[in-house]
Amino acid sequence: MKIERAAAIPLVVHDPYFSVWSAADRLNDGDPVHWSGARQALRGSLRVGGEDIVFLGNAPQMRAAEQEEVSVTASSTEYRFRADGLPFTVRFTSPLLLSDPVLLSRPVTYISVRIPAEAVFAGSVSLCFTVSRDLVSRSDAVLSAFFGRYGKEKPFSYAMMGRAKQKPLGDSSDNTPIDWGYAYLASDTPGAAVFFDAALGALVLTGTFNEEREINLALAYDDLVSINYFGDFLKALWTEKYPTILDAVEGAFLDREETLEKAAAFDKELEKAALDAGGEDYAFLALMSFRQTIAAHKLIRDEKGELIFLSRENDSNSCIGTVDVSYPSVPLFLLYAPELVKGMLRPVFRFADCPVWPYDFAPHDVGRYPYAWGQVYGLKRDIGLYDHEAGTVCPPVYQFPKGADVFRLEGQMPVEECGNMLIMTAAAALTDGNADFARPYFETLKGWTAYLLEYGEDPGEQLCTDDFAGHLAHNVNLSLKAIMGVEAFSILNRLVGNAEEEKRYHEKAAAMAKSVLSRSAAGDHTALVYGNEGSWSLKYNAVWDRIFKSGLFPQSFFDTELSYYIKKENGFGVPLDSRADYTKSDWILWCTAMTDDPEKRKALIGPVARFLKETESRYPFSDWYDTKTGKYCHFKGRSVQGGIYMPILLDRIRK
């Protein structure tokens, strides 16, 4: 899809640490950045007619190539340029194919610079491409480097660099790029030379275009160790197939054509589904959120051989495996990789079973990235367990004994996380057509359902996932989550063949729904909180009634709510609720799925697309922004934008 502009455009996007974006209108307007905003300088130039012309990065000493067009798909970003009349394209492909876990995990992006076959030029044209030390170090630390050739089946030239002093997993602070591991630049194009330039502190590729008129590169990253998972230092999943990162790079060169064909086919399929679900603006949002959503995770396998898919709560508090971050993201993964939803849930069930967890409701998270060591949200601050300073790591909370008393009750999200875990577990089970995944956790799920039955219909003062808005009592949308959580347990009982319990829990959910709708009715909408008819909010949690086909809420409820939201819409979207002008883009798209009316869908989608196209805040697709100014409030590069896919998910289920 051709795009005119976006807040930030994905270039090399794999995981929370290996994530490089262009935050400029033109690729040569400035250096690329990490999702956090830290510089991640990549530079590219062509020598045409004896003059160096820059197309990538900040090089004011060079003349800039003319950027003619940008196209974005789920897997790729392609720029079209012209330099002294010579057309050429630059393409970045991070093949995050959800159907192939090893490929999804492999940290190798394809980069190609190509001159069209029909282009005519006199003399030689050469390429210079550099990767700065920014990718491996946040300071001017001494680097180690090497360059040479490798390849058992597919020879290629490569260069690598990294800090001489390595401290893998040496930091768990937020908004920071990696400070350990090694970056690799490689090419299998004959005649291309790849080396380390000590003076520049950069990996460099040079090459002259041959009769094929294309130079292929690969940019890769070896983080050495990816996650500390309940005490085990674990590597990324790709290491199961490839002994070293050089083997992974060789594998990428060997399967390049096949992988690019698969990626192109998937890109086409996804774009068509998005166009059918909501038109061009919606397709734009879906394509711009795909790589971002996946790359806010790390994929590993635990000691049992089970997939573990851990999110990082970017630009928030760096929590790992956050339940209320997984919850909005799951539509994308339910569509294309339900096994990854299970990979999000397993760590939470594991921590909930630890003696240190004292509550009869679900946890919020399992640590702070890259340490899955036990919940940090709501830890008691007076014992120094909640420190965001660079270079700090939270302690292994999962090891603490029963009665350790390290959590603040007022800092928890009881109804929120119980509902989230139940809904996600039921959704994953429905994709399987059985509840085999849920069986080991059934008693835990039953306990969380009991909590929702006792406290969910009219929650007391507590936090929900929109915790930036503060504590709130009598939150109607939170009541809707509790209802859907109880209904989720009814579904799980159906899938295990317990018809009597299925009926019992469904009837309880139906009774709760009837009560909540009656108590929250405010004429042409439902209230934000019980007893305040002048208040209102996006009731995004109710969308699961349509996904589950439960029939707990009448169609008139959805129709009335959607019409009211459209009336409340500002230039960049519908506010989250009546308390402020800010919104959450993922929740707007969840609400969009509450209607089949294409005009209503477009009315809700258009302003969100406008935000991403026009905002002055140059960060990867922020989910929390002001609907009047279009300015980012907080949150960038987060996995929650998987929620953009809710309309496609609903359309697929309803077919």
Predicted local confidence at residue 382, as pLDDT: 61
Predicted local confidence at residue 210, as pLDDT: 79
pLDDT above 60 (res 149): yes
Strand-pair category, 86-93 with 76-83: antiparallel
Q: How many whole angstroms separate alpha carbon 386 and alpha carbon 377?
A: 8
CB atoms < 10 A from the CB of 523, how many? 9
Instruction: Share the mean pLDDT of the chain.
Output: 95
Predicted local confidence at residue 654, as pLDDT: 84
pLDDT above 70 (res 390): no
pLDDT above 80 (res 388): no
pLDDT tens digits along 425-476: 999 999 999 999 999 999 999 999 999 999 999 999 998 888 888 899 999 9
pLDDT above 80 (res 507): yes
pLDDT above 80 (res 611): yes
Of all residues in the chain, what percent carry a pLDDT higher than 70?
98
Report residue 321's pLDDT band, with 50, 70 and 90 as the boundaries.
Answer: very high
Across the range 28-39, mean pLDDT stands at 97
pLDDT above 80 (res 285): yes
Predicted local confidence at residue 465, as pLDDT: 87
Predicted local confidence at residue 261, as pLDDT: 98
Q: How many whole angstroms separate alpha carbon 263 and alpha carbon 276?
A: 20
Report residue 374's pLDDT band, with 50, 70 and 90 as the boundaries.
Answer: very high
Least confident of 168-177, 381-390, 498-507: 381-390
pLDDT above 60 (res 387): no
**Is residue 485 within 8 Å of 505, Cβ to Cβ?**
no
For tokens 């790359």, the residue is 295
Across the range 281-307, mean pLDDT stands at 98
Closest to 19 in 3D by CA, of 276, 433, 314, 389? 314
pLDDT above 70 (res 389): no
Residue 207 host element (H or E): strand 202-208
Q: How many whole angstroms separate alpha carbon 150 and alpha carbon 23?
A: 34
Across the range 245-258, mean pLDDT stands at 98
Q: How many whole angstroms separate alpha carbon 316 and alpha carbon 407?
A: 19
Report residue 393's pLDDT band, with 50, 70 and 90 as the boundaries.
Answer: confident
CB atoms < 10 A from the CB of 605, how many? 26
Across the range 286-315, mean pLDDT stands at 97
Least confident of 121-130, 249-258, 306-315, 638-647: 121-130
Q: Evaluate if pTM is beyond 0.85.
A: yes
Closest to 7 in 3D by CA, of 621, 635, 586? 621
Closest to 539 in 3D by CA, of 548, 528, 552? 528
Residue 80 host element (H or E): strand 76-83
Q: How many whole angstroms separate alpha carbon 238 and alpha carbon 220?
A: 12
Cβ neighbours for 400, distance < 8 A, ≥ 6 positions apart: 355, 356, 374, 406
Q: Cα-flanking dihedrals φ and ψ of residue 543, to 5°?
A: -60, -25
